[in-house]
Amino acid sequence: MKSLPHGIYEALLDEFLRDTLARHPEVRTVFGKIDLEEQPGLYAAFVAKVLEQALREEADPEKRLALGNWILGRVADEPGRGHLEKHRLVDQPKPILLEITPPNYGTTTIPRPHTPLAESSLFTGSPQEPQLAHELHEEMRSADGVDILVSFIKWSGLRLLLPAFEDLRDRRVPVRLLTTSYMGTSDAPAVEWLARMPNVEVRISYDTERTRLHAKAYHFRRNSGFSTAYIGSANMSHAAMTSGLEWNLKVTAQDLGHILDKFSVEFETYWNSREFVPFDPEQPLLFRTAIDRARNPRQHGPMVFFDLQPHPFQERILEALERERDCHDRRRNLVIAATGTGKTVISAFDFKCF
């Protein structure tokens, strides 16, 4: 490294970087500490990067395996690390476990997507890569649980995934689906068809004027630990999942597990929010009316939207007030919150609940 470009970094200080900086005393540097919880991940990523470089420089496959096992052996030899000894790699012609077949499959293999389950990848709609619809279809057929978050659902998109949804039904795999009536784009019959499936729960936001939900994401949970998610710009429509120039990032639990963890937390927040109402396909009038109003606003006259819902932080305050009354019989409570955070609204919701 002849020069060190100016800019921001987030590089662990190794001996090479230390010596390089020492040769450039004119450079002003700023260092930071590592959070103890972040240490294992940062160190592991650094070691993996250096090890990958060493393995690429070694062309002999047998020596690559030996080098990897030597490093694992050194780690296992440390006091208290003997239980890691069994993680040495085994030398055999097919060293990757692809599936453990369920008893009812017979000689049939479990469907799997073209893209890896252990390495994240980007879908850009390029003709050279698998269609998103195909990958979603195959991911569903090997999932043990599915969470879907989309702004709208079209029959054209649902048709592409019908066999996969039917497979999930037959295997009794739970499916949770969050969507909206935003702009009247969804096809009501498609949402109703999904909601009638015994393994599918649907919740809908009816805020057609100011919805904040523009996220599009599909999460496929697997008991094997090889869960995946597709996060990007594709709603459940034919164009978005086939020919559209939609960008979607496939995230795997094996290399970006913290992203899937955050996905799960945020989805639970939405799922339990009062903004998303459980949808009963036997009483579809509210949803159909919301779709029709959004598509034909002139036929229904001016539409007044006044359906206030508490923000998540306000919900936590309301829950605390309810807990104080019900669990501790404390009925004179004080709420302290910053200016503009909605104390008046909180009191109104609390009064309504009380």
Q: Does position 1 have pLDDT exceeding 50, yes or no? A: no
The H-assigned helical ranges of the chain are 15-22, 39-57, 61-76, 132-140, 155-170, 188-195, 238-241, 257-271, 285-295, 312-328, 343-353
| Sequence-distant (≥ 6) Cβ neighbours of residue 231 within 8 angstroms | 215, 216, 217, 248, 249, 251, 259, 263
Parse the chain into domains and list their residue ranges: 15-87, 121-300, 312-353
Which tens digits make up the pLDDT trace of 2-26?
568 899 999 999 999 999 999 999 8
121-300 folds as: Endonuclease; Chain A (3.30.870)
- Give the span between the Cα atoms of 86 and 322, in whole angstroms: 52
How far lies 132's CA from each of 14, 98, 156, 234, 257, in Å?
41, 22, 14, 9, 21
Which tens digits make up the pLDDT trace of 37-70?
999 999 999 999 999 999 999 999 999 999 999 9
pTM value? 0.79
| Among candidate residues 307, 119, 157, the one with its CA nearest the CA of residue 246 | 157
Percentage of the chain with pLDDT > 70?
94
Percent of residues in the chain assigned helix, strand, coil, to nearest 5: 40, 10, 45
Query: What is the pLDDT of the chain when averaged over all its residues?
Result: 90
The H-assigned helical ranges of 78-182 are 132-140, 155-170
- Give the span between the Cα atoms of 154 and 161, in whole angstroms: 11
Helix (H, G, I), strand (E, B) or coil at 149: strand
